[in-house]
């Protein structure tokens, strides 16, 4: 089944966007780890007068959860590094340096279109034209 040019370009954009998505997942995991650490350092106080067992003395659940989250972070970083290498390799195969630069700025650095235009020195419209041509020329490796 042959994909239309638009469908093929959407697939390519989704592939290119996957790097920034991975960065966001990594940041979320880092924030979750930080929140877990903060909650352990500064537990919320319940002032209802009821006696409670000391949760502070048992760190085993905390350590297990922290270890799991750190392992998840390591895995995410490894996957992101592999993904970046793959995307960079595919971008480098483009013959046109302007096309390469537009794709790098947009999908690796995560810049907005206006920022890509300023960075490249092209108009907003010309930047989008270069992007369209780059998508047509981009070959996604397996």
Task: Encode pLDDT of 34-56 as tens digits.
Answer: 998 888 877 665 455 555 555 55
Cα distances (angstroms) measured from residue 85 to each of 50, 88, 101, 120: 56, 5, 16, 23
User: Mean pLDDT over residues 67-87, rounded?
Assistant: 96
Q: Given a cut of 90, is residue 116 above it in pLDDT? A: yes
- Cβ neighbours of residue 14 closer than 8 Å, sequence gap 6 or more: none
Cα 37 to the chain's mean position, in Å?
23
Cα distances (angstroms) measured from residue 92 to each of 19, 96, 110, 135, 138: 16, 9, 17, 13, 9
**pTM for this entry:** 0.79
- Could you tell me the two tokens for 56? 């502070």
Q: Is 136 left (phi over 0), alpha (psi -120 to 50) or beta?
A: alpha
């Amino acid at each position: 089944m042959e994909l239309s040019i638009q469908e093929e370009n959407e697939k390519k954009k989704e592939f290119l966007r996957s790097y920034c998505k991975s960065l966001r997942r990594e940041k979320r995991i880092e924030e979750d780890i930080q929140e877990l650490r903060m909650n352990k350092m500064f537990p919320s106080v319940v002032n209802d007068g009821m006696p409670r067992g000391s949760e502070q003395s048992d760190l085993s659940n905390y350590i297990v959860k922290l270890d799991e989250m750190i392992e998840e972070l390591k895995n995410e970083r490894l996957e992101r590094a592999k993904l970046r290498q793959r995307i960079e390799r595919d971008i480098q195969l483009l013959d046109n340096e302007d096309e390469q630069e537009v794709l790098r700025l947009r999908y690796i650095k995560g810049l907005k279109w206006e920022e890509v235009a300023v960075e490249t020195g092209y108009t907003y419209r010309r930047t989008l034209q270069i992007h369209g041509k780059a998508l047509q020329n981009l070959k996604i490796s397996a």
